[in-house]
Amino acid sequence: RRRTKSKRRIAMEPDVAFIEKFLAREESDALLDRIRSESEFKQNQINLYGWKNVPRLEAWYGSWDYPYSKGVALKAAPMPDYLQVVIDRIAAAGFGAFNAVLINRYRDGRDYISPHSDDNYGDAEPTIPSLTLGAARPCRLAKMITGSKLDKSTTVEFVPGHGDLVVMRGRTNADWQHWVPKTAKPVGERINLTFRNKSVPET
């Protein structure tokens, strides 16, 4: 039996919607299995005072390579049908159309992502949905003061679980940064799908 979705605002600011059980348990399990068995994950490197391994695995699906770090780009793989189904579900829920998916694979608590804003591809107020599969990990947002400096007193924390969808909207991506901190606590694998949209010239 499909559970009723619960949709709520995380806070008045930032503008973030949290849709619990956007995918039912059976759907989430099946999607997780497909990603684990069919996605080609890579541990990329970033040039930050010398080349370092990114503390997670990544895969990118779409029609363009994903600019990464000083000339490094994630090579795009064609969009598989099982991810297109999720894109269509998100569009049907009223969150917009998307043509690319970035998948982050956090193998355990040592994997993390630092505070950052997502690429907006020229949209000052992008809508960016994010779907969690597997283990729940705390996610945080904090408002930027100047540049990338954060006002930690504004920190908002939420913990999306298996099948939950988080949607950033409005000025959230421009004015706030978000991150997944590492932890020494025992935690299972988390896979996160972030959906992007970019106008791509027809060839």
pLDDT reported for residue 124: 86
Question: Do 89 and 81 meet the contact criterion of CB atoms below 8 Å apart?
Answer: no
Distances (CA, A) of 98 to 55, 69, 197: 26, 23, 5
Domain 6-196 has CATH 2.60.120.590: yes
pLDDT reported for residue 199: 75
pLDDT digits (tens, 9 = 90+) for 51-76: 889 999 999 999 999 887 666 788 99
Distances (CA, A) of 68 to 34, 43, 71: 25, 12, 7
pTM: 0.90
Q: Count CB atoms within 10 A of the CB of residue 103.
A: 20
Q: Where are the alpha helices (DSSP H) in 69-135?
A: 81-92
Domains of the chain by residue range: 6-196
pLDDT digits (tens, 9 = 90+) for 149-176: 999 999 999 999 999 999 999 999 999 9
Residue numbers in the chain where pLDDT is lower than 50: 1-4, 203
pLDDT reported for residue 47: 78
pLDDT reported for residue 73: 81
Question: Do 61 and 101 meet the contact criterion of CB atoms below 8 Å apart?
Answer: yes
- Give the closest residue to 163 by CA, choosing from 128, 135, 188: 135
